[in-house]
Structure 1
Amino acid sequence: MKVEKEYKFFLYLRGYYNSIFANYKEYLSKKEYLLSKLSDEEISMCYDRKQYYNKDNFSFRDISSEYTIDDLRNIKSPTSYYIDTFEYARYFDKNYPIRFVFGDVDFVPKEHAIVKSRPIGNDNGKGILLNLDRQRHFKFIKNDIAYAQKNDILIGRLSIRKQHRIEFFKKHFNNPNVDIGHVKKNGENAQWFKDRLSYKEHLNYKYILSLEGYDVATNLKWIMSSNSIAVSPKLKFETWFMEGKLRGGEHYIEIADDYSDLDEKLDFYLNNPKEALEIIHNANEYVKKFRNKYMEELVSILVLESLYIS
């Protein structure tokens, strides 16, 4: 089993390189190169995703903003959000204005802005999604063990801060079908402390708990790339991963918001392995487009193009 991810050292190296060798106004050559690497079907998917991310077809060209694209390069303490935005914004005119709301965004901005996350819904278009903080969120599993070889219970290790996570622990910490733990040894809720587990240790289990935190659950993406199944209430937030397109019973096991049917759902899939394997297949297929480097780069270029050129 292998985890495909970017390490922080390479994140900051990428940010430093891009800040020095900015390719302002060269987006067309980059776009043409990426188009040449993809099939017509893949290109069509990229344009569909661009529309999903910038739902309102909003343009930054004429907005009033305190920041320009070039300002992203000059942030004294660069974070992954600035680095990931500048990765593709650097292909456009450095004097173009830009507006962003970085961090865990669980609301729709009052004005159109680039965000990592937004609530799922029809009225969320003012949040324009880019693939931000991807070093933390976009990790995928390669060469996992077969579903049938995994243990039958639900595993979960997470930090308990939000009330909905506390409620899950109150209800299911002593459930024999569940092995969950709070990974913070000191402070509140220390009675639920258990040691952290590696990816490999999580993947010894058929079911992995994926509860949203301040916005999306960080582990959902890598679970869906594995031969385990994510267990979650109906999703409320989305990122570049387009969580709003995921369906309970198709891509993950959906449980009630009050967690009351957890045992019932686990029993069903334990007794119906064909349905469990179908979820794994659907989840793995869904993840494939996010593992295609050329598609990911093209969609990012297309989103920025829609903000400045179209």
Structure 2
Amino acid sequence: MIGVQEKNYKSYCFNSLNYSVIFIYLLFVIFPIIWIVLLSLKTEVQAFANPPLFIFKPNLMNYYNLFVEENFGKYLFNSIFIASLSSIVCLLIGAPTAFALSRNQNKTNQGILIWVLISRMAPAMTYVIPFFVVFSYFKMIDTYFGLILAYSVLNLPLVIWLMRSFFLELPSETLEAAKIDGASTFQIFRKIAIPLASPGIVSTGIITFVVAWNEFIFALVLTRRHAVTAQIGIGNLQKFEGTEWGQMAAGAIVLILPAMIIAFFISKYFVQGLTSGATKG
């Protein structure tokens, strides 16, 4: 009886320690978001009050000024359009490539995979100047096509490696049976591999969209006015007259929402996709 009580006490202490660590971690993660939300609802006087105000009358003027005076709606549309199309392009190219690399485990494919991995490991800054020079020559600076192309090149290695791990999880017996029945490689890919790997495709699409959505360096260097994204639009709130902290906070909240909404509605596929591709590779 004493042994059982001692075991229960140790289990209680261990669980209490775990929950305490989780609570502290969540506090560090959530508190900045709460602070930004409060800042976005304050006037300039309230924002610089000392001590900080946690009880105040909220207003939405920062959001109004952000979209009406700063034309943030156009920047937001640019971000959604560019991130979505670049994600689609990456999936259209990366999924067939990953399927081909997962089916044939030879030295040539291994070399291709290593090259793809090395290209993804290089910092984004190493690509900015070459992209700028080439895009300037072909007059692709400040265009949707140019930024979509840059994001696709940046994220394609990530898509290939993620999708390859999902395709490796597919039962080889099913694929071989389809091949014996006379199905071509493209038919196997389209009718069997794609449906079976759909959770992985969804999760890869989410990750690719979020990476493109949060990208800053390429958008800063390769855009001027027409194709400016929301991330650059927030940076433009740092003006010579001063920084619009309330509007910057409002913009940050707006930028958080799309990724949260997407993740909320397809979280089941996202989690299923991540777990299904986590055991092989």
Higher CA-based Rg:
2
- Report the structure, 1 or 2, having the larger helix content: 2
TM over 0.5: no
Task: Say which structure, 1 or 2, has more relative contact order (CA 8 Å, 6+ apart).
Answer: 2
